[in-house]
Structure 1
Amino acid sequence: MSKYLISIIGPTAIGKTALSIKLAQHFNTEIISADSRQFFKEMQIGTAAPTQAELAQAKHHFIHHKSVQDQYNVGAFERDALLCLDELFKNHNIVIMVGGSGLYVDAVTKGLDDFPDVDESIRKTLNQDLETKGLEHLQKQLEMLDPKSYGTIAIDNPHRVIRALEICIGTGKPYSSYLNKKNTNRPFKTITIGLHAERAIIYDRINQRVDMMVEEGLIDEVKALLPYQHLNALNTVGYKELFNYFSGAWTLDFAISEIKKNSRRFAKRQLTWFKKQEEAIWFDYLTPVDAIIKKVHSTINAEN
C-alpha cells in the first residue's frame, strides 16, 4: 500500500482539530500540525491550540515546540515536517496533517515555490517605509502591484507583505505569478479533506470562539507577552489588538471587537487560498465523521 498524508484544511473555527483527532484514532496514527501560530508554546489560548485533553487523544507533532523568541519560518517547517513524516511512515501507512496556514500546508504537500533573488536594498527600503509610513501604506502598494496576493496572503503580517512587495518591485512581476509553479514529487500521496460552511455560520463560530478565548484567560495570556510584543510571532490576530488595549490606545471592548473582525478577515483569506485546491474533497462541517472516513477508504482503495 502507498503511504498517504490526509491533509485537513478549512477556515478557522470550522472544526478541523476535532476531525483530525477522530481520523487519527480511526487510522491508529499521529497528527502533524501545519498551523504556524500553534508552533509557539507561549500562545495557547489565542491560537486555539489543541487542549491537553485533545492532545492526549492522539499524538501531535509541531504543537508548542518553539518559543516566540525562536526564529522559525516556512522553509524550516517544510524540512522538519518531511523528516518527521519519513519517521512516521515507517510505522504508519497513513498520517494526518491539519492546519489553517495555507502556505505551510502547501510547503509539505507540494514544496515551496522558487523565487528569483532580488536586491537586498529593496527590503531595507520597505522596512524603512514600514517604520515611517506604516503597514497600511505597504498594503495599498501591494494591492496596486499584485491584487491577487493582496486578496490571499496574511496582509496583517508585515513580513508577508514585505516579502511579496520585494518580489513585485525586484522582478517587475506579481509575487503571485511565481506561486504554484513547482511540482515536487513526494514519497507519499496526499488526500485533501476540506471543511466548509455558509459564511454567516463561519463568522458566528468565530465570534463565539473569541468570546470563549476571553473567558479562558486570553487577556492574561497576552499581558504576560507584553515584553515580547515586538517579535514577529506576536504580530498576529488576537494578540496585536490586545497590545493596543494595554498601551491605552483602545478600550477592551473595542480590542475584542477588532479580534473578531480580523479573525473573520483571516477566515475569508483562508477560504480564498484553500478554494484553489482543485484536488480537495469538500464536506459540510456537520458531515458525520463516518461519512468522511468512508470517502477516505474508498479513495485509497481506488488507487491501490
Structure 2
Amino acid sequence: MKNKNLVAIVGPTAIGKTSLSIALARAFHTEIISADSRQFYKEMNIGTAAPTAEELQAAPHHFIHNISIQDEYSVGDYERDALQKIEDLFQKSPILILVGGSGLYVKSLLEGLDNFPEVDPLIRKQLNQQLNEQGLSPLKEKLNQLDPFYFSRVDIENPHRVIRALEICLGTGKPYSSFLEGAKQTRDFNAIKIGLTAPREIIYDRINMRVDLMMEQGLLEEAEHLYPLKELNALNTVGYKELFKYIEGDYSLEEAIAEIKKNTRRFAKRQLTWFRKEKDITWFEYSTKWKKLKIT
C-alpha cells in the first residue's frame, strides 16, 4: 500500500483539528480515523469535545463513541483495530485522514508501540490500590521523582498512563522513558504529518472559550449523569473530575470551571511538548487559510 497516504493532523486541544480534518476528508472524498482516546467513549460527549452530529454527518468518522467507559480498551487494542480499519478503507481511497491529540495513539499507528519488559503484576495491583485509597496525587509525585522526562510529556491526569509508567519504573529500576523510542515499525502506507499551532495566549483563550461553551451545552448535567460511575478510570479525566468535586461539595461551580480551564491548559502544554519533538511534522498556524480547499 505504499501508494496510500495517511494524513495525520495533530496539535493541542481546541486548535481546530476537527474542522481541518473534515475539510480535508470532504476535499479528498475520504474518511476520518480518530486518535483521540477520550472520544472513544460513547457516554462522554460534551466533556471530550467530540464531533457534533453535524460534523459526523459531514464526513465518515471511525473510533468515535465506539466503546463504553466500562470496557477495557488499551492503546494496543486501538493499534490493532485501527490498522485493520485503515487497511480496509485503503481499498476504497488512496488517502485517509487521521486526527487527534493523543500522541501515544497517533504513534501506535504511524510507528508502532515500544516494547516493554514484563514486570510483576503485583506492582500494578498495589498501585491501583494506592490510587483507590489515596488518589492520584502521590502517584504523580512518585512518577515525577522516578522519571521527570516522561512526567513532562504524559497526560498526568490519566491514572492508567501514570500507573503504567510507574509499574515499569518500579519493576525494572529504570525510567519508563528509557524504553521509549525503540525501532520504528514499517507501515505499508506513507504518513504525512500536519501540526496546527498558535501562540500560547491564543491557545489558552480558545481553551477557556471552549470550556465556557461546554458548560452552556450541558457539561454539568452530563457529569451528574455519570457521577455514579466516577470511580472508573475513563472518568478520572479533565472536565469530569473537577465537576465531581463540585457535586461532592469540595468546589464551588466557579472553582470547578476554573480548574477545568487550568487543567486543560496544562494538558495542551503537554501535547505540544509531545508533538514538538517530532521532526517530521509540518507546522501551520491555526489561522492558515486553506484556499484551495476553502478551509477557514
TM-score, length basis structure 2: 0.96
RMSD of equivalent CA atoms: 1.4
CA distance in 2, matches of 1:182, 1:79: 18
CA distance in 2 between counterparts of 1:125 and 1:23 reads: 46
Unaligned runs of 5+ in 2: none
Q: Superposed, which structure 2 residues align to 1:15-26 within 5 Å?
A: 15-26=16-27
Q: Which residue of 2 aligns with 1:170?
A: 171
Q: How far 1:124 moved relative to its partner?
A: 2.4
Matched with 1:203 is 204
Output the CA distance in 1 between the equivalents of 2:265 and 2:293. 26
Q: Is the 8 A contact 1:22 1:289 kept in 2?
A: no
Q: How far 1:100 sits from its partner (Å)?
A: 0.6
Partner of 2:148: 147
Query: Aligned letter for 2:57?
Result: A
In the alignment, what sits opposite 2:109?
108
Aligned residues between the structures: 293
Q: Give 1:12 shift.
A: 0.2
2:46 matched to which residue of 1?
45
Normalising by structure 1, we get a TM-score of: 0.94
Which residue in 1 is equivalent to 2:59? 58
Asked whether 1:192 is paired with 2:193, we answer yes
Q: Which residue of 2 aligns with 1:280?
A: 281
Alpha-carbon shift at residue 41 of structure 1 (Å): 1.1
> How far did 1:292 drift?
8.5
> d(CA) in 2 for partners of 1:173 and 1:291?
50
Cα deviations by residue, 1:140-198 (Å, 9 ceiling, x for unpaired): 11111111111011111122111111111111111011112131011101000000000
Counterpart AA for 2:80: R
The range that moved more, 227-236 or 254-263, is 227-236
CA distance in 1, matches of 2:291, 2:281: 18
Name 1:262's counterpart in structure 2.
Answer: 263
Give structure 1 stretches of 5+ with no counterpart. Answer: 294-304
Shift of the alpha carbon at 1:131?
3.3
Query: Whole-Å Cα distance in 2 between the matches of residues 133 and 218 of structure 1?
Result: 27
The one-letter amino acid of 1:239's match is Y
The runs of at least 4 consecutive aligned structure 1 residues that moved more than 4 Å come to: none
Residue 136 of structure 1 deviates from its aligned partner by 1.5
Structure 2 Cα separation of the partners of residues 292 and 279 of structure 1 = 23
